[in-house]
Amino acid sequence: MQRITSKDNDFIKHIKKLKDKKYRDISNEYVIEGVKLVAEAIQENAKIKHIVLCDDCERSDFISKDLMYEIAKYDCVYVTDNLFKYLSEVQNPQGILAVIEKNNENNEIDYSQDIIVALDDLQDPGNLGTILRTVDSIGLTQILVSKGTADCYNPKVVRSTMGAIFRIKLIECEDLVKTLKEIKRHKFKVIVSSLQTDNSIYDANYSKKVLVIGNEANGVKEDIQNLADEKVKIPMLGKTESLNASVATGIILYEYVRQKLDKK
């Protein structure tokens, strides 16, 4: 067990720099924070490199004895309370964070699933994290993200996933159009959300489909719209014309769930 008290320590500098996407990409690591996320990481056998605890955490009620027993199996580093607050990304830290190695060695798409979700330049970290959580909730294990989509390992995204980030394979696409064309060769059809159609999400069949969710402000890009086999929209009875991207994704994906349950 190691105890660190100085901001000038190289390990502390390393963790602090992990808040920057470029450094996360170089080191192939990201930071998670809080008792629930660390417990989920242990349960899901995430690649935990280090666990950092504040001096007082063992005396707090946040961390159970059972979890402390599991934590002790990893490389643990203790820091002062002030140093932990310096590292923390949240207002009321629980005194525990972990450095995780990204699980990105396998970038192959799984074509055995009924539906694949692809994100086209989604920008809001909260939306992205919520979509990852929704994808996990319906039993999917992968998601495609375009190069222009917000970083999936952004601390806000990670917190919003509520642990789903450990179960969802993140496939980053340099060229989403090229990737979608390749998926279509595997007998999948591309379906996009669009206001420029009369087709409802309830008219579509969601078997062997790639569902593309577009940018919050601009929607799905024109070249992907042109590639789409189907365009659908969520019918709305009020005056609002569009919904938050994560809400819209959830509504569409749970129509897929409804259809799947009806087949049983």
CB 18 within 8 A of CB 24: yes
30-75: per-residue pLDDT in tens? 999 999 999 999 999 999 999 999 987 655 677 888 998 999 999 9
pLDDT value at residue 127: 94
- Phi, psi (deg, nearest 5) at residue 210: -105, 115
How many angstroms separate the CA atoms of 13 and 38, rounded?
21
200-250: per-residue pLDDT in tens? 999 999 999 999 999 988 889 999 999 999 999 999 889 887 788 999 999
Mean local confidence (pLDDT), 113-129: 95
- Phi, psi (deg, nearest 5) at residue 122: -65, 135
CB 18 within 8 A of CB 89: no
Is the model's pLDDT at 132 over the cut of 70?
yes
Q: How are strands ordered across the β-sheet holding 96-101?
A: 2-4, 76-79, 48-54, 96-101, 29-33
How many angstroms separate the CA atoms of 217 and 110, rounded?
30
| CATH code given to domain 115-262 | 3.40.1280.10
- Phi, psi (deg, nearest 5) at residue 32: -115, 155
How many angstroms separate the CA atoms of 215 and 206, rounded?
21
Burial of 197 (0-12, 13-18, 19+ CB in 10 A): middle
- Phi, psi (deg, nearest 5) at residue 72: -65, -15
Give the architecture (CATH level 2) of 2-101.
2-Layer Sandwich (3.30)
**Ranges of each domain in the chain:** 2-101, 115-262
Which two tokens mark 56?
Answer: 């007082």
pLDDT value at residue 187: 95
pLDDT value at residue 60: 62
If residue 25 lies in a helix (H) or strand (E), which one and from where to where? helix 21-27
Mean pLDDT of the chain: 93
Which two tokens mark 240?
Answer: 């609002």
Is the model's pLDDT at 195 over the cut of 90?
no
Give the pTM: 0.90
How distant, in Å, are the alpha carbons of 68, 78, 100 from that of 33? 15, 14, 11
How distant, in Å, are the alpha carbons of 68, 108, 120, 144, 167 from that of 104? 28, 10, 19, 12, 12
